[in-house]
Structure 1
Amino acid sequence: MSSTLLEVTRAAHEDVERLERLIVKDLQNDPPTTKDGLYQSHRVRNNIDTIISTTEKLVEIYEDKDNARKDEIAALGGQTATGVNVFSAFYDRLKEIREYHRKHPAARVVDANEEYEDLLKEEPVIEFSGEEAFGRYLDLHELFNQYINSKFGAKIEYSAYLDVFSQPHNIPWKLKSTRQYREYMENLLEYLIYFFQRTEPLQDLDRIFSKLEAEFEEQWANGQVQGWEKQGQENEDDPAQLTMIDLDYYSTVEELMEVGPEKLKEALAALGLKTGGTVQQRAERLLLTKHTPLEKLDKKHFAKGSHGPRQNGSTAVSQDINSLKQIALVEAKMKKLCDLLSKTIEQTKENVVKKQALTYEEMEQEREEEETQVDTESDDEDQQIYNPLKLPMGWDGKPIPYWLYKLHGLGQEFKCEICGNYSYWGRRAFERHFKEWRHQHGMRCLGIPNTKNFNEITNIQEAQELWEKIRERQGVNKWRPDLEEEYEDKEGNIYNKKTYTDLQRQGLI
C-alpha cells in the first residue's frame, strides 16, 4: 500500500516514531557490563542514523519541487482536468485498496513488540584488535614505530611514547614542515577518530570539531596556537621559510616529478636556481641539490641576477602558510581527542607498565590464580591475561582458543605494500583491511580510488598499472560524436556525422 506519495510519507513518519520509542526503551535498560553498554550505544547510534536519513527523505517530499505531492492531494479531492468529481476519486481509491488485498490475501500486520525484542537483542559488529581489549586500551604500536624512525621523533620506549604523543607542541616547528611529519599526524588523527567512533558512538564528533575549528581560527589569527606562536607572521615576512620539500624521500627524478611543475618552480626559485624547462628538467636540477652543496653547483644552473640560495641545499621550500595552518589544525584536533580519551590513555599506560614489570614467575602465578578463582566479569577485566603463545585477543579481552587460531589461519602473514608493508594475520583480516582506514589512506596517497577493482591488490606498481588500464578503457568508451552521431538524408538513409559531412561536401546528398 506504499504506492502513493502520501502513503510513503505516512510510513516514514511511522518508522521515525517507532525508532524513537525503540531508543527510549533501549536506554531505559541499565547494561550490566561494559560490553553490553557499548552494544547499547551502537544500537542507539544506528537508530539515530536511520532516523536522520528517513527525515531527510521526508524533507524532500515536503519541499515538493516537482509538485507531485500537491497533485496527489488535489486528486484526493476529486480534482481532474474536466472538473471536480469527489465520488469518482473515492471509488477509484476504493478499487485500488480492494485490488491490493486481493493480490495479498495473506498479508498480516507486523507486531511491533516482536521487532522491539529482536532489535534490543541485536549485537552490533564492533571491531577491536587484541591489543585494544574491546576498547579499553589504545593500540599505537604502528604509529610508535613511525615516530621513532623519523627525524622529528626520538628513540624512546613505548611507555614513554604514550606520554609524549599527545604533546606535538614540544617538537620544533621546522621539523613539522616535512611530509613525513604531516603523514604521521594524519595517521595518528585518523586512528584516534576511528577509535573514538567505536568507543563513543553517541558523541557528535562533527559538532566538537566545528567548535574547535572556530576557536582555532581565532587563536591562529592572534598567533596563540600552542607550538606555533607567531609562526604565521614570521613566515609571511619570509616566503622561503614556509615549508620544505624533504629531498630525502626522493631518490629518482620520476618520483620528484610527481610533486608537480608549480611546486618545483617555487622550490627552485627559493634556491636561486633557474625555474624554466620541462618538468623533468626542473626535477633534475632540484635533485642535484640533494648531494651537492649549492656553492659547488655549476653557475649555469643559477638564475641571472640571483644572489644565491636562501637556505641550504638539503631541502627546498614548496608550501605556503595555509599548509602550515592545516598541520596545526590537525594537531589541535588530535589533542582534543586525547583530552576526550584521557582515561583510556591512562589505562593504556598502566597496562603497558604492568606488562613490562611482570616476570615469568609472576605470570605463572597469575595464571594459577585465574584457574582457581571464579570472579565476575569486571574483576576478570582487571587481571593480567596469561598468553604464552601470543594468540590474538577475542571480543572478551581473552586469548582465542588455539583451534580457532589454526582454523582461521591466523598464523599466516599477508603484507600490503600500499599500507606501508603492514602485516595482516589471517585471510579474514587481510580481506577486511581493504575497507579500513590504513589501506584507504594509502590509496589516497597514490591518487587511486579505493574501489572493488583493486581488491586483492597489495603491490603499488600493480595498482598503478591497473588504474592506467581503467582510465584508458574509460577514455575508449567515451562518446565520439563524429562516429556515433547519426544523420538522415532526404531518402531516409542513415549516416554517421563524419560520413554525412563528407557526402554533403562532395554534393552527393
Structure 2
Amino acid sequence: MASSVLEATRAAHEDIERLDRLAVLELQRDPANARDRLFQSHRVRHMLDLVISTSDKLVEIYEDKDCARKDEISTHLTAPVQSDIFPKYYERLKEIRDYHRRNHSARFISETDDYEELLKEEPAIEFTGEEAFGRYLDLHELYNEFINSKFRSLMEYSAYVGTFAQTEKISHSLKATRQYKEYLEHILEYLTSFMYRTEPLQDIEKIFTKLQSEFEEQWANGEVPGWENKVDLDYYNTVEEIVELGPEKLKEALTARGLKGGGTVQQRAERLFLLNFQHRPLEQLDRKHFAKGDDLKKEIALVEAKMKRLCEILDEEEVQADSESDDEDQQIYNPLKLPMGWDGKPIPYWLYKLHGLGQEFKCEICGNHSYWGRRDYERHFKEWRHQHGMRCLGIPNTKNFNEITSIEEAKALWERIQAKQGLNKWRPDLEEEYEDKDGNIYNKKTYTDLQRQGLI
C-alpha cells in the first residue's frame, strides 16, 4: 500500500484538471442547432458529475480516517539506508504500475485520448415520440389521470396542455385529498425528469431549496398563490360582523388558514374571531380548532409551487426554442414534398411508398376531405368527421357502409337495406293469429272484419 494513496490523490487531481479543460473546450464550441446544444449540455453535465464524484473521493482521502495517508507520508519522510535506496525505488515503481494496471478502467480521460472525438460523442437521451427530442411535453398519461379524477374538468387534450398548471381553478375542498396530491406529484415527477433531460445544466435542487424558503414565509403570512387569506380580519371587531360574511366565505377563510370549516355560521365566525382577538397567531391556538388535513394542504401547496416554478422555467426556454426551430425549418431540404415525421424531418422515401402516402382518397360524406394513404383512408370511417357526415344524412354508420364515400351511393344503399328489412319484418295484421270459440284460426285482419260483422 506504500504509494497507492498518494498516487490515487495525484491521479484524481489530474482527472479533475483534464475534465475542467475538456469542459472549457466544449463550452467554447458554438452548436449549430438545438439538438447539438442539447448534446453539448449533457456532455458538460456528465463532466461536472465526474468532477463532483472525484472531488468527494479526494475529500475522503484528505480526511484520512484510517490514517493511511499519514502513514504513507511518514514512510516517504523516513530517510532510507544508502543500500536500500534502489530497492525502495523499484518497489515503489512496481506498486505505482500495479495501481494503474488495476485501476486502468477508472480513468475518465487518458492523456492519449482525442479530445475532438470525445466532443463529438452523442449522449443517449430518452424521449418519447410525442416529446420530439425535448420540444414538447408528453402529458397523455397525466391527462387520462386528470379526466378520471374527482376534480376533473371536461376538456380536450390540447386545452389541458395549456391549462394543467392553472390549479387555482380547482376548489380547496377538492384539493385537500390524497388523490389530488398524488396527481400533483406525478406532474412534478414528470416535469423534473423532463427538465433533467432538456436542461441538464439547471440546478433543480438549488431552485427547489430557494423556493422552499420563500414558500415557508408566504405560507406563514397567508400569501401563497391560490391559498391566500382573502378575508382581512383587521376590518372586523366583533363576531356579529364576521357572521355577515356568510357561510361560504367563512368556510373558505377557515380552510385557507388550516382551521376546521364545519359547524354553524355562528361557530365558524367564533372560530375565525379567535385569530382576530389580540392578533393571536395560529401557533397559539388550541390544536382542536385545526383541521386534520392542515399538513396535507401545506404539502399540496408546496408541490403546486414547485410545479409552477418548473413551468415558468420551461416557458422561458420555449421562446428561445421557437426562434431556433424557425432557423432549423429553413434549412430542411425536401424536394419530394415528403410528410414530416415526429422529429420535424421528412420521413424516409421507402416508408412513404410502403404506406402509399402519395395516393389520395376523397370522401364526399366528409365534405370532400382528402385522406393520404390506404391506412388513413380505412381508419377514417370510424372517426368523428365521417360519423358526423353520416348522422347528417340520417344513416347509421355501420359496417355495411364501409368503402362508401359518395352521398348518392350511401342513400341508395340505405334505401335497399330498408326495403329488404321491410319484407322480412313482422307484420301483425297478416301474421298475428286469432282463434274463435269453434277453434277456427284467422289472422288479425280477417278476425277483426268478421267480428265487426257479427259473424263471430
TM-score (norm 2): 0.56
Q: Give the aligned residue type for 2:152.
A: G
Q: Counterpart of 1:61?
A: 61
**SS in structure 2 of the partner of residue 341 of structure 1:** helix
**Is 1:177–2:199 an aligned residue pair?**
no
Q: d(CA) in 2 for partners of 1:239 and 1:130?
A: 47
TM-score (norm 1): 0.51
Q: Counterpart of 2:90?
A: 95
Q: d(CA) in 1 for partners of 2:3 and 2:254?
A: 60
Q: d(CA) in 2 for partners of 1:172 and 1:39?
A: 42
Say whether the 8 Å CA contact 1:26–1:120 is kept in structure 2: yes
Q: CA deviation at 1:227?
A: 1.2
Q: d(CA) in 1 for partners of 2:97 and 2:318?
A: 63
Query: Are the structure 2 counterparts of residues 152 and 73 from structure 1 closer, same or farther at C-alpha, using a change threshold of 3 Å?
Result: same
Q: d(CA) in 1 for partners of 2:28 and 2:255?
A: 54
Say whether the 8 Å CA contact 1:132–1:138 is kept in structure 2: yes
Q: 2:330 aligns with which of 368, 379, 382?
A: 379
Count of equivalent residues? 295
Q: Give the aligned residue type for 1:237.
A: L
Q: d(CA) in 1 for partners of 2:256 and 2:328?
A: 57
Q: Counterpart of 1:320?
A: 293
Q: CA deviation at 1:385?
A: 8.3
Q: d(CA) in 1 for partners of 2:320 and 2:77?
A: 66
Counterparts of 1:244-393 in structure 2, within 5 Å, are 319-343=292-316, 377-379=328-330, 386=339, 393=342
Q: Counterpart of 2:411?
A: none
Q: Counterpart of 1:362?
A: none
Q: Counterpart of 2:30?
A: 30
Q: d(CA) in 2 for partners of 1:402 and 1:196?
A: 35
Query: Are the structure 2 counterparts of residues 122 and 2 from structure 1 closer, same or farther at C-alpha, using a change threshold of 3 Å?
Result: farther
Say whether the 8 Å CA contact 1:166–1:338 is kept in structure 2: yes
Q: Counterpart of 1:159?
A: 158
**SS in structure 1 of the partner of residue 39 of structure 2:** helix
Query: Are the structure 2 counterparts of residues 203 and 77 from structure 1 closer, same or farther at C-alpha, using a change threshold of 3 Å?
Result: same
Say whether the 8 Å CA contact 1:212–1:333 is kept in structure 2: yes
Question: Is there any run of 5+ residues in structure 1 with no aligned partner, and where?
Answer: 79-83, 242-316, 350-374, 407-509
Q: CA deviation at 1:171?
A: 1.2
Q: d(CA) in 1 for partners of 2:227 and 2:182?
A: 19
Cα-to-partner distance string for 1:18-43 (whole Å, 9 max, x where unaligned): 00000001111101121111101000
**Is 1:226–2:225 an aligned residue pair?**
yes
> Identical aligned pairs, as a percentage?
50
Q: CA deviation at 1:61?
A: 0.5
Q: CA deviation at 1:146?
A: 1.6
Q: Give the aligned residue type for 2:176.
A: S
CA RMSD of aligned residues (A): 4.0
Q: d(CA) in 1 for partners of 2:332 and 2:215?
A: 39
Q: Counterpart of 1:12?
A: 12
Q: Counterpart of 2:259?
A: 237
Q: d(CA) in 2 for partners of 1:400 and 1:145?
A: 33
Q: Give the aligned residue type for 1:186.
A: E
Q: Higher mean Cα deviation, 375-384 or 147-156?
A: 375-384
Counterparts of 1:83-162 in structure 2, within 5 Å, are 85=80, 87=82, 90-97=85-92, 99=94, 112=111, 114-162=113-161
Cα-to-partner distance string for 1:35-55 (whole Å, 9 max, x where unaligned): 111101000000000000000
Query: Are the structure 2 counterparts of residues 146 and 98 from structure 1 closer, same or farther at C-alpha, using a change threshold of 3 Å?
Result: closer
Q: d(CA) in 1 for partners of 2:42 and 2:125?
A: 9
Q: d(CA) in 2 for partners of 1:4 and 1:236?
A: 60
Say whether the 8 Å CA contact 1:39–1:123 is kept in structure 2: yes
Say whether the 8 Å CA contact 2:6–2:69 is kept in structure 1: yes
Q: Give the aligned residue type for 2:8.
A: V
Structure number with larger C-alpha Rg: 2
Q: Give the aligned residue type for 2:170.
A: I
Q: d(CA) in 2 for partners of 1:2 and 1:318?
A: 65
Query: Are the structure 2 counterparts of residues 180 and 89 from structure 1 closer, same or farther at C-alpha, using a change threshold of 3 Å?
Result: farther
Q: d(CA) in 2 for partners of 1:324 and 1:177?
A: 6
